[in-house]
Amino acid sequence: MSLEQDESSWTEPKATALLVLADGTILQGIGFGATGHAVGEVCFNTAMTGYEEILTDPSYAGQIITFTFPHIGNVGTNEEDIETVNMAATPGARGVVLHSVITDPSNYRATRHLDQWLRARGIIGLSGLDTRALTALIRTNGMPNAVIAHEPSGKFDLDALRQEAREWPGLVGMDLVPMVTSGQRFTWDETPWEWGKGYGRQENPEFHVVAIDYGIKRNILRLLAGTGAKVTVVPAKTSAEDILAMKPDGVFLSNGPGDPAATGEYAVPVIRDVVASGTPTFGICLGHQMLGIALGGTTKKMHQGHHGANHPVKDMTTGKVEITSMNHGFAVDRDSLPGNVEQTHVSLFDGSNCGLALKDKPVFSVQYHPEASPGPRDSHYLFQRFAELMRAKKRA
């Protein structure tokens, strides 16, 4: 359906879902998933696979995802590919926009239709939209605030929806981590999935890693356990004193949603104390951004963000180019980094910062998602790099 349509023509076919942009533009389609309405920032994701992992990534809290790939839902859903750790928290994305109507699942691992799965998780869906046109709009104008609404009767209060979209303040200055972080400390020992075996258990850990949960994903925890670590996950507001009292061999700073500067008001002082202790530290996504702030840099809002599983990144320390999975709307301003911080990874799409490391301490981070869930496994080596830092620290 086109981006601009006269409201009086909404009779054939009957619109049961709307995407109402903050500028007043109304896009119509066919609703699925949960009913009701939700407000958020609209982004587009270019991944061709892994929609279940994407939709359960806590980093998408506060966002409405437009998939550029037209066929989403055709392999159904299952209980193994969920990335949310805190199942009682906000499920991640607030809404999803698709080009094509969801087909019946065709995959031996499927246990539920995507439509039923979305209903159970309270996520609103809209299909039948020209997602290419919406993506082009985002590339030109940036990620808009919008309300996604689904009402089977097709009756909507357009003025109220427009007002809600217009008045939502957006993600700048918004701390969303309290919506997704764990409420209490817990341990994790599940290791990565293997064909024919499923997930394993880490029974003989070499390291103890404390992971600060800003919205952590399950596959990150699995890969940490797979390096030989016993992982203790702690809530986002855990103090540096409590973290260091556990005598970790390493500290992990997780991914998460929202503005890193806002979350950083309480997280950055903790990160600074952890770094000052000399404990090996590894950050991903939001953890990377807040580490950049802790080391003296700043972050900035991106025009359209990076969302997909096909982003080329160059590792400046090895010269290797890897294809990565990304999900972020903020980035570290590389020009703001002080002299003791090295830029280790760069996006080959737009040259933005994708990694950093301290020159004098065992501390590093990346902007993208090396756990590859979804996405290629090119970046799994970073977990081994973290393990080597912990091993060297133990030897010293």
Per-residue pLDDT of 253-295, as tens digits, reads 999 999 999 999 999 999 999 999 999 999 999 999 999 999 9
For tokens 């970073």, the residue is 382
Average pLDDT over residues 377-391: 97
The fraction of the chain above a pLDDT of 90, given in percent, is: 92
Query: What does DSSP say about strands 321-332 and 341-347: parallel, antiparallel, or unpaired?
Result: unpaired
What is the DSSP track for 216-267?
Answer: -BHHHHHHHHHTTEEEEEEETT--HHHHHHT--SEEEE----S-HHHHHHHH
Mean pLDDT for 361-373 is 97
Domain ranges within the chain, ordered by starting residue: 7-167, 177-395
**pLDDT tier, 195 (very low <50, low <70, confident <90, very high otherwise):** confident
Indicate whether 10 pLDDT > 50.
Answer: no
pLDDT at 318: 95
Is the pLDDT at 307 greater than 80? The verdict is yes
Residue 247 has pLDDT above 80, yes or no: yes
The yes-or-no answer to whether 7-167 and 177-395 have a common fold is no
Whether residue 1 is predicted with pLDDT greater than 50 in this model: the reply is no
194 is catalytic: no
| Residue 369 designated active-site | yes
Q: What is the pLDDT of residue 223?
A: 98
Read off the pLDDT of residues 63-74 as tens digits, 9 standing for 90 and up.
999 999 999 999
Length of the chain: 396
Question: Which among 37, 43, 285, 288 is annotated as catalytic?
Answer: 285
Residue 139 confidence (pLDDT) above 50: yes
Residue 328 annotated in active site: no
- Tens-digit pLDDT profile for residues 86-115: 876 777 899 999 999 999 999 999 999 999
Exposed / middle / buried, residue 236 (Cβ in 10 Å: 0-12, 13-18, 19+): buried
Summary mean pLDDT of the chain:
95
pLDDT at 4: 47
pLDDT surpasses 90 at 148: yes
Q: What is the mean pLDDT of residues 306-323?
A: 97
CATH of 7-167, one of 3.40.710.10, 3.40.50.150, 3.40.50.12160, 3.50.30.20: 3.50.30.20
Number of Cβ within a 10 Å radius of residue 5 = 14
- In words, the CATH class of domain 177-395 is alpha beta
The pLDDT value given to residue 13: 64
Catalytically annotated residue among 52, 53, 322, 371 = 371
pLDDT at 14: 84
The DSSP annotation for 283-296 comes to EETHHHHHHHHHTT
